[in-house]
Structure 1
Amino acid sequence: MSGQEHLPAPAEQQCDQEWLPGGGVSPSAISQGFATSKGPMKPTMQDYFVAVSDALAALWSLSPPKWRATRGPAFAHHGGAPFCLTAVFDGHGSGDHAARSAQESVLGAVAGDATMLDCFARNMEQPGISPEALGGLQAAFRRSFRSLDDRICQEGAERGLPHDGTTALVSVQVGPKLYTANAGDCRAVICRDGRALRLSRDHKPELPEERARIEAAGGRVANVRGTWRVVLPLPDGNTAKVCSVSRGFGDRDFKAGSLISSEPDVAGIVLAPGRDTFCIHASDGLWGAVGDQEACDLVSEVIDKFIGMTSFNTQHAAAAKAAAQELVKFARDRGSMDDITVIVTLYDWGM
């Protein structure tokens, strides 16, 4: 494959800055529902997830004692503000160790980083998200992802798992602000005014900047059976390993040559009261078969059915669960053979 070949652009765009309103109003309540489905041809489920709509207590108990004593009061002052952690890990390769380990470690990784907690605390006092604040969180998330990746690779070496990896999508909502860190092709999409807006970027090898990084490290990107993949030549010169994502945790054989990176993209938005109705976090088992807007339209249809019920105010969690289940069913009906994980987060603005 020549370096001049045209590579397709992503089909849908990320959330542009013009769509990021200011303001400091938090949702009055957050409800989450999830659904999962193992790929019919897969021997084991390799997707793992975390959905904690009230994560403050868990994060507080895992945070450094010194930080709780000196900086913790900033959180206590905003005790009524939502603090939500959502994560999806899509494992691949020789097992589920990388994805499972990431799931088990993510709460501690966020809570144990005093610098990250300081960034959250400072941002709670600001009406928007300044470039300086976002820069601090980008550095903190990247450090946290690197630390998790080092641990997973070390564990993989001890277990003899050279090609065990996972993508990683982690979102933390603090009050009205939603921060997303992504390495791989799980995706977060928010529905604003009925329109799907992507909050993360899929890290695929065919992206020009990803391909340039991989080739600069001595690797190749090739289309193998219709899918663009990172190619790792093996020492015999005749065979190679391939991977369909360019960022994530684990995959220590690819990491040895710096072909796959653990560095996440980090973004932050301020939620728009009454306009942001829900957010979808899902693995590529969904997104490979269902478009962003299609997914938002389907969730909206499910929510509309629940709104017609007199008890809707007590049924937000049930609506979120039903919406996630419908998305999984829709992806299966579309022919998805991959593991699928979907988390739907509904925002109640009390209006």
Structure 2
Amino acid sequence: MAAGTEFSPYAMFHKGNMSTGEDMISQNSDHLKQMAIRKPPRHVSGVRHSMSTATLQPPHDLDFGVGIAAVTDGKSEYMPMIRSGSCAEKGPKQYMEDEHICIDNLFEYLDGIEGFPSPGAFYGVFDGHGGTDAATYVRKNILKFIIEDSQFPVCLEKAIQNAYVKADHAFADNASLDISSGTTVLTALVFGRMMVVANAGDCRAVLGKRGKAVELSNDHKPNCPSERLRIEQLGGAIYDGYLNGQLSVARALGDWHMKGPKGSACPLSAEPELQQIQLTEDDEFLIIGCDGLWDVMSSQCAVTITRKQLMLHNDPERCSRELVREALKRNTCDNLTVVVICFSHDPPPQIEVPQSRVRRSISVEGLNFLKGVLDGNS
């Protein structure tokens, strides 16, 4: 992005003069140190906020009080307590094209908007290709497009879906960027007890639910039956697993050399698939990562490793580093970016296999744990 076009998120609701350059970075850094709702482990570094200075522009006429009460069902007092950690490594590739964003406390990040729920958090991973322009642009602007959308916060899914398409079009209109670069995008928005995961591409979100891996996204590969059908209906073709012989994913933002006029349907789609869930006490953590992790590791293996590490040290950042290290041991061929988001400040409880005098049995949770261990040792 051209110099002078970025805005600090703290300018959204502040009056008066804004600091710029190094002063702004220093102020944001000081502010971020105070953002955590509750204290994380002492040794957790600030990397989980490393992308929290993503540029935002002022939303217009937002009523954040509308529809907020709908995030709870009145049947439970449970509320998640959010903390996260991230790790990104270039891996065996020559260049690093991944980006990510971690915001544990949206209320403070957006400078205390009245009516905004607590907890509120936002995370994203962006796997760039053909250069870093698309991944960097979307990382800096996707949250802005979400909160500016007219459907936010009444209909979160629609606001997020609109934001992906708007970000794609805005990127195409930016003459200072290489619009032939592209990026896959996966975001997770926590809004009270509600979490919405949106995915366009082959990044993946996996929920750890008492030791069981629950996938909250689909990998949009061209050979996926539903994607193949959509691609062929729109006149596209798949050669050796590549869309039109060029791209290994079926959905992405950017890549405008492969798209038609804005607003027209084309084989390469920027529209995300979304999944919305209501978080419960059984939902222990979420792993989001670029395909460099999932190319060499199953979802269940990642959940088993993360749960075991959390039980040892209860540090999501160390968990993300361990997943990256394990993927490198398994000879991944891609950049690696992993974010681990915990929904409690306590470590996961020990999974106990009930004993019986009549017959020996294993619980579903214990079976999932064993499966992950065997997968990790393979």
| Fold conserved between structures, TM > 0.5 | yes
1:192 lines up with 2:209 in the alignment: yes
Which residue in the other structure is 1:298 paired with?
305
1:229 lines up with 2:242 in the alignment: yes
* 3-state SS, counterpart of residue 259 of structure 2: helix
TM-score, with structure 2 as normaliser: 0.67
Q: Name the count of aligned residue pairs.
A: 271
CA distance in structure 2 between the partners assigned to 1:229 and 1:337 by the alignment = 17
Alpha carbons of structure 1 residues 27 and 96: separation in structure 2 relative to 1, 3 Å: same
Which amino acid counterpart does residue 229 of structure 1 have in structure 2? Y
Which amino acid counterpart does residue 108 of structure 1 have in structure 2? K
CA distance in structure 1 between the partners assigned to 2:339 and 2:320 by the alignment = 6
Are 2:203 and 2:288, in contact at CA under 8 Å, matched by a contact in 1? yes
- Of 155, 159, 172, the residue aligned with 1:140 is 159
1:41 lines up with 2:77 in the alignment: no
- Residue by residue over 1:311-347, the C-alpha shift from the partner in whole angstroms, topping out at 9 and shown as x without a partner, is xxxxx5xx10110000000001111020110000112
Which amino acid counterpart does residue 52 of structure 1 have in structure 2? I
* 3-state SS, counterpart of residue 179 of structure 1: strand
1:346 lines up with 2:346 in the alignment: no
Q: Report deviation, 1:196.
A: 0.3
Which residue in the other structure is 1:91 paired with?
128
Q: Report deviation, 1:284.
A: 0.4
Which residue in the other structure is 1:335 paired with?
331
1:203 lines up with 2:220 in the alignment: yes
1:264 lines up with 2:272 in the alignment: yes
TM-score, with structure 1 as normaliser: 0.72
CA distance in structure 2 between the partners assigned to 1:142 and 1:25 by the alignment = 30
CA distance in structure 1 between the partners assigned to 2:81 and 2:179 by the alignment = 43
Alpha carbons of structure 1 residues 178 and 321: separation in structure 2 relative to 1, 3 Å: same
1:216 lines up with 2:233 in the alignment: yes
Alpha carbons of structure 1 residues 327 and 265: separation in structure 2 relative to 1, 3 Å: same
Alpha carbons of structure 1 residues 160 and 54: separation in structure 2 relative to 1, 3 Å: closer
Q: Report deviation, 1:206.
A: 0.7
Computed over aligned residues only, the root mean square deviation of the Cα atoms, in angstroms, reads 2.1
Are 2:151 and 2:158, in contact at CA under 8 Å, matched by a contact in 1? no
- Residue by residue over 1:153-177, the C-alpha shift from the partner in whole angstroms, topping out at 9 and shown as x without a partner, is 222xx24735310001011001111
Among all aligned residue pairs of Structure 1 and Structure 2, give the percentage whose two residues are the same amino acid: 31
Which amino acid counterpart does residue 279 of structure 2 have in structure 1? L
Q: Report deviation, 1:111.
A: 2.0
Alpha carbons of structure 1 residues 161 and 28: separation in structure 2 relative to 1, 3 Å: closer
Which residue in the other structure is 1:52 paired with?
103
CA distance in structure 2 between the partners assigned to 1:102 and 1:277 by the alignment = 28
Runs ≥4 in structure 1, deviation > 6 angstroms? none
CA distance in structure 2 between the partners assigned to 1:250 and 1:26 by the alignment = 40
Alpha carbons of structure 1 residues 333 and 218: separation in structure 2 relative to 1, 3 Å: same
- Of 316, 323, 326, the residue aligned with 1:320 is 316
- Residue by residue over 1:52-93, the C-alpha shift from the partner in whole angstroms, topping out at 9 and shown as x without a partner, is 0101233467xxxxxx7xxx54x3xx4xx2101010100012
- Of 137, 147, 151, the residue aligned with 1:111 is 147
1:100 lines up with 2:136 in the alignment: yes
Which residue in the other structure is 1:4 paired with?
none
- Of 231, 250, 260, the residue aligned with 1:246 is 250
| Structure 1 residue ranges without an equivalent (≥5) | 1-20, 62-67, 120-135, 232-240, 307-315
* 3-state SS, counterpart of residue 143 of structure 1: helix
CA distance in structure 2 between the partners assigned to 1:86 and 1:160 by the alignment = 24
Which residue in the other structure is 1:32 paired with?
84
| Structure 2 residue ranges without an equivalent (≥5) | 1-71, 350-378
* 3-state SS, counterpart of residue 85 of structure 1: strand
Are 1:27 and 1:348, in contact at CA under 8 Å, matched by a contact in 2? no
CA distance in structure 1 between the partners assigned to 2:78 and 2:238 by the alignment = 44
CA distance in structure 2 between the partners assigned to 1:213 and 1:60 by the alignment = 42
Alpha carbons of structure 1 residues 97 and 297: separation in structure 2 relative to 1, 3 Å: same
Alpha carbons of structure 1 residues 271 and 323: separation in structure 2 relative to 1, 3 Å: same
Q: Report deviation, 1:277.
A: 1.1
Are 1:59 and 1:108, in contact at CA under 8 Å, matched by a contact in 2? no
Are 2:201 and 2:250, in contact at CA under 8 Å, matched by a contact in 1? yes
CA distance in structure 2 between the partners assigned to 1:144 and 1:57 by the alignment = 22
Which amino acid counterpart does residue 299 of structure 1 have in structure 2? T
* 3-state SS, counterpart of residue 115 of structure 1: coil
Q: Report deviation, 1:25.
A: 4.0
Q: Identify the structure with the greater strand proportion.
A: 1
Are 1:282 and 1:343, in contact at CA under 8 Å, matched by a contact in 2? yes
Are 1:50 and 1:103, in contact at CA under 8 Å, matched by a contact in 2? yes
CA distance in structure 1 between the partners assigned to 2:176 and 2:335 by the alignment = 24
Q: Report deviation, 1:48.
A: 0.4
Which residue in the other structure is 1:125 paired with?
none
Q: Identify the structure with the greater helix proportion.
A: 1
